[in-house]
Amino acid sequence: MTTITPDGPQLPGDRTPAEPSLRPGPVLPGTLTAVSQADQSPKPQHAEKGGPGRYPGAPRPEAVRPTPLADLAQQLAIPVPDAAHVMVTGITHDSRAVRPGDIYAALPGARLHGADFVAQAADLGAAAILTDPSGAERAAATGLPVLAVDDPRGRMGALAVSIYGAPGEDLLQIGITGTSGKTTTAYLIEGGLRAAAAKEADGGGGRRAGGLTGLIGTVESRIGDERLKSERTTPEATDLQALFAVMRERGVRSVAMEVSSHALVLGRVDGCVFDVAVFNNLSPEHMEFHSGMEDYFQAKAQLFTRARSKAGVVNLDDEYGRRLAAGESEVPVTTFSAEGHPDADWRAADVEIGTLGSTFTVHGPGGVTLRAASPIAGPFNVSNALAAITALAVAGIDPQTAADGVAAIPGVPGRLERVDVGQPYLAVVDYAHKTDAVESVLRALRKVTTGKVHAVLGCGGDRDPHKRMPMGAAVARLADTAVLTSDNPRSEDPLAILATMLAGAAEVPVHERGTVLVEEDRAAAIAAAVARAEPGDTVIVAGKGHEQGQDIAGVVRPFDDRQVLRAAIESAMAAQKSQQSQQPNHQG
């Protein structure tokens, strides 16, 4: 361990037969192939073709009205021989998840082409294959009808909408985008939707939201109270429309959903028109995917076009939010400001920040005034809570009902999530994995900490390398103890990542820098932070949040920051108790 110690402290909008992709133009194919990444998908659980076994992949509705393949070919404006008698009941981009009657979307990928797996798809009962010209010959060799188009990824969303009967049109859909806070805001909105549904069930009036609620995001998807593990922030279009169909089938009437920039660029939300689109903020992230901040913003701004949403809710405290509000949104915009900006439609005032959450007053249009609470600590979560209340109000839900539902959620997995085993200091786990988020969470914890802040932080491998020095500098400047460690190094050398973070920490002037420790092993790093904690201090383990695995050299090992932190605290407390019991008693 190295130590540095300072001297001082009708798509549905207009479904024309040949509807093109909503993506702005050609993009890189990404990493999706017929076989998902090892750290993204459950192990295959193959069922016999046509048998009763459980199929792998995303959930599907129980009942689907068959769609003639000829109708789908007409929608694509292409001729398909031998399609006259073929009926379609599903669509998937994963060859392992094919069910009898499916269209298998054989997509080009960065390393492999989905057409490499057409035989597997055919064996599992695929009815037809959607692919591009480069995959058409291999697809045709199966003897199945082939739908060959230039951009199959951009067309499969609209096909999924048709196959599953436009399920999203029967749901109140609220989509959330931005760099930080998407997950938290989605949970908060879903809490408000649940409150509205409960009020309707009790005859409380207002019928904008009722029945069960849904959630789709980074941590999990939920259908009512059923929880499904998420493979990515926003599912691929084929899985998303199937999930909407399952929700509709089970009585869900409203859904809160995270919408990533990747999802917008790669067409994962093709076929969705959100009732309300929410913009939280924008800061540097995913620069390995986007060419720069303007490209990143334009990707997010796609959500605020008439093809993607009906109304927008944007953060007036963010410079990019102000751009949307000033006219770069195609849909009507309602603004909010946690900083109390007088021009905002919805404003927070009288904010009181606490260790477990915050309370504040909401001022809205027409003289609306109500007390609200964020159930998660930090001023940035006041902004997330206000975003949720505003979005729910725009969706037609009573603002007080919305605020009560937001305040009632028990927390968000991996977002300032407390780990408490009776220790005399605060211990939390947070997903902060970018510079702005690290700075925000450390400043928030500083405000509610009487002692010192001890932070554990790493940077992921095979991701944007430019944020490593700034993140190292941020944690060194804002924490009393900064323990630099591994996150998910993936294929990179963990020590090389740490060297870059350490270089950033070293640029912080000595008098502004806390103690900096370097420990490659993440569990040992967490134990090192815990060992330094005293009553009144705070220990934060940042970067992985809810994640339950660590990717090292392509192998995903079980690792949950919450469990490891809990074990470290329990071990330290047991050692302290043992030491105290062995001390001689000088009384008498």
CA distance 462 to 493: 10
524 membership: H or E segment, kind and range: helix 522-531
Spatial CA neighbour of 471 closest among 501, 499, 516: 501
Calculate Rg over the CA atoms of the chain.
25
Give residue 336's pLDDT.
Answer: 98
Contacts of 135 (CB under 8 A, 6+ apart): 106, 108, 113, 114, 115, 118, 129, 148
Alpha helices in 456-515 (DSSP H): 468-478, 494-506
Cα distances (angstroms) measured from residue 37 to each of 86, 154, 221, 250, 450: 32, 21, 19, 30, 44
- Report the DSSP pairing between strands 67-68 and 369-374: unpaired
Q: Spell out the per-residue pLDDT of the chain, length 588, in tens.
A: 544 333 333 333 333 333 444 444 544 433 333 333 333 333 333 333 433 446 888 899 999 999 999 999 999 999 988 887 999 999 999 999 999 999 999 999 888 999 999 999 999 999 999 999 999 999 999 999 999 999 999 999 999 999 999 999 999 999 999 999 999 999 999 999 999 999 988 765 444 556 899 999 999 999 999 999 888 788 999 999 999 999 999 999 999 999 999 999 898 999 999 999 999 999 877 777 778 999 999 999 999 999 999 999 999 999 999 999 999 999 999 999 999 999 999 999 999 998 889 999 999 999 999 999 999 988 899 999 999 999 999 999 999 999 999 999 999 999 999 999 999 999 999 999 999 999 999 999 999 899 999 999 999 999 989 999 999 999 999 999 999 999 999 999 999 999 999 999 999 999 999 999 999 999 999 999 999 999 999 999 999 999 999 999 989 999 999 999 999 999 999 999 888 888 776 554
Alpha helices in 338-481 (DSSP H): 379-394, 399-408, 435-447, 468-478
- Sign (positive or negative) of CA dihedral 385, 389, 395, 398: positive
CA distance 556 to 41: 12
DSSP string, 289-310: TSSSHHHHHHHHHGGGSTTTBS
Annotated binding site: 95, 178-184, 233-234, 260, 268, 463, 487-490, 543, 547
CA angle 187, 309, 166 (to 5 degrees): 90
Give residue 290's pLDDT.
Answer: 78
Cα distances (angstroms) measured from residue 11 to each of 182, 254, 410: 24, 20, 37
Give residue 580's pLDDT.
Answer: 84
- Quote the tokens at residue 382: 């006041």
Q: Token match 């009776």: residue?
A: 422
CA distance 147 to 457: 48
CA distance 571 to 530: 10
CA distance 433 to 284: 11
Give residue 82's pLDDT.
Answer: 80
CA angle 39, 41, 46 (to 5 degrees): 140
Annotated binding site for ATP: 178-184
CA distance 156 to 266: 11
Spatial CA neighbour of 334 closest among 417, 411, 390: 390
Give residue 110's pLDDT.
Answer: 83
The one-letter code for the residue type at 167 is: P
CA distance 374 to 405: 10
- Quote the tokens at residue 548: 């339950």
Contacts of 317 (CB under 8 A, 6+ apart): 281, 337, 338, 339, 341, 383
| Residues 157 and 75 sit within 8 Å (Cβ to Cβ) | no
Q: What is the largest CA-CA distance in the chain?
A: 99
CA distance 119 to 122: 5
Spatial CA neighbour of 178 closest among 7, 303, 89, 57: 303
- Sign (positive or negative) of CA dihedral 235, 236, 239, 243: positive
Cα distances (angstroms) measured from residue 180 to each of 73, 377, 380: 40, 15, 9
Long-range contact list for 496-500, CB < 8 A, 24+ apart? 497/458, 497/459, 497/461, 497/468, 498/458, 500/459, 500/465, 500/468, 500/469, 500/472
CA distance 97 to 125: 10
Q: Domains, the chain, ranges and CATH?
A: 67-164 (3.40.1390.10), 172-408 (3.40.1190.10), 417-577 (3.90.190.20)
Q: Helix, strand or coil for residue 530? A: helix
- By 3-state DSSP, what share of the chain in percent is helix, strand and coil, each rounded to 5? 35, 20, 45
Spatial CA neighbour of 432 closest among 97, 180, 147: 180
